[in-house]
Amino acid sequence: MRNLKSIIATVVLGMIALTATAQNSEAIAEAQALGYKPQPYTFIQVQGGVNKVFSPGSKFNPTFSIAVGSMFSNVIGARLHFNGYETKNGLNSIGVKYKFKYITGDIDVMVNIFNIFKARNNRPVDLYFIGGIGANYAWDNNEFADLVSANRAAVSAGTATPIQEDISNAWGQGKARKELISHNLRVGLLADFNISRHWSVGVEADLNNVSDRFNSKYSNSNDWLFTAQLSITYKFGQKKPDKIVAASVATVADFGTSDSDMDKENANQGIAIAISAEPINEVLFFKDPRETHINAERQEIINKVAEWCKNNPDKIVTIDGYADRGTGNPRVNKIYAKERADNVAAALMQLGVPASQLKVDSHGDTTQPFTDDNDKNRCTIVVGK
């Protein structure tokens, strides 16, 4: 028991220590593009699935959970989690089954495993390590008590064989036999699929360590309760991203006439402005077929385009999203192309570019601007002239 607690504590502390080195520069850029900070947020979670005690005679049974919690960053979170309903076990020596009810209450630490190594805000799927500690309450063990009483009566009458399992004082004596309070230690994994800003669905599998008394049979070791559940999570409380203060750029009017005594600094700025008046043509490439977010590299290009827009407010910028024809299908490629174009437009507007200056379109995989390289067509092309 002590060894198990030490292992769980070591794992959790180790995961937390690793998060101190996680880099989140790309996550900040992505938040700017999304228009909100995905973390921190608060959530409500409901789950339903099956449970099973690892002991002879046990069966899969329905179980349900409800939780409330918060992700404090894109790596670390916590929740208050309640799970329960009923579970079944058996006395194989006499071929009978019995069921009882239970509920567990745990405080769980949640660690986003993917974000430990590379911080991201907008992953399609997040994988969480779950580690928790709490209490387990079991009750309504009447079926077990009745089976034991009936067997003892039958054995006395010579019509049955005695129970071979060690059930001595399983849940205590007298009235206490009908209920049990135990520790509950949990480890597990949650794969969470992000549907939208507020909703996600997931699959969670946990191992819960409880008292040896839990299944009403002694085995000289703690019992394990396995749960596998589908989850629906509603997220709320996300905040707006920090505003990016774009570097101010002087206009031509700031320099007045081209006096011969214009200082060197102003001359250099004047040259830069003259260049910015030229047409701009930028391509933002996306490495993965489903990738649509704005990372740090793409944010640099967007910053450049935003500066051009502010220096040329009478010019229109076209933003065209594309997807490669070599992967996926036309339906999903249409979605990815639109998300790429929309995310670039949102990032530009976040930097102060008015929507009226932008013309956004997407082409899915119907048009391939790069015929020599399939992967390059996972892109957004930005043109201003």
**Which comes out higher in pLDDT, residue 150 or 204?**
204
Closest-CA residue to 29 (of 151, 120, 149): 120
**Against a cut of 0.85, is the pTM above it?**
no
Q: What pLDDT is attached to residue 26? A: 53
357 CB neighbour count, 10 Å cutoff: 17
Q: Region 67-84: what's the mean pLDDT? A: 95
Percent of the chain with pLDDT over 90: 57
Please enumerate in sequence order all residues whose Cβ is within 8 A of that of 55, keeping only pairs 6 or more positions apart, or say none: 89, 215, 217, 219, 223
**Which comes out higher in pLDDT, residue 135 or 277?**
135
Closest-CA residue to 211 (of 109, 150, 316, 135): 135
Token pair belonging to 362: 């997407």
Q: Is the dihedral of CA 261, 266, 272, 275 positive or negative?
A: negative
Q: Region 240-253: what's the mean pLDDT? A: 40
Write down the residue that tokens 């594309």 correspond to. Answer: 322
Q: Is the pLDDT of residue 260 over 50?
A: no
Q: Region 221-236: what's the mean pLDDT? A: 95
pLDDT bucket at 118, cuts 50 / 70 / 90: confident
pLDDT digits (tens, 9 = 90+) for 340-377: 999 999 999 999 999 999 999 999 999 999 999 999 99
Q: What pLDDT is attached to residue 31? A: 62
Q: What pLDDT is attached to residue 353? A: 93
Write down the residue that tokens 């039958």 correspond to. Answer: 154
Q: Region 71-77: what's the mean pLDDT? A: 92
Q: What pLDDT is attached to residue 335? A: 92
Q: Is the pLDDT of residue 5 over 70?
A: no
For residue 291, CA distances in Å to 153, 226, 366 come to 69, 35, 18
Q: Region 243-264: what's the mean pLDDT? A: 38
pLDDT digits (tens, 9 = 90+) for 281-322: 999 999 999 999 999 999 999 999 999 999 999 999 999 999
Between CA 38 and CA 24 the distance in angstroms is 13
Between CA 199 and CA 124 the distance in angstroms is 12
Closest-CA residue to 231 (of 126, 361, 144): 126
Q: What pLDDT is attached to residue 257? A: 40
Q: Mean pLDDT score of the chain, rounded to an integer? A: 83
Q: Is the pLDDT of residue 145 over 80?
A: yes
Q: Which helix (H) or strand (E) holds 337?
A: helix 330-350
Q: What pLDDT is attached to residue 95? A: 87
Percent of the chain with pLDDT over 70: 78
Q: What pLDDT is attached to residue 262? A: 41
Q: Is the pLDDT of residue 323 over 90?
A: yes
For residue 375, the 8-state DSSP code is G
Q: Region 193-203: what's the mean pLDDT? A: 93
Give the total residue count for the chain. 385
Please enumerate in sequence order all residues whose Cβ is within 8 A of that of 179, keeping only pairs 6 or more positions apart, or say none: 137, 138, 139, 141, 171
pLDDT bucket at 7, cuts 50 / 70 / 90: low
Between CA 259 and CA 264 the distance in angstroms is 12
Q: Mapping DSSP to helix (H, G, I), strand (E, B) and coil, where does residue 110 land?
A: strand
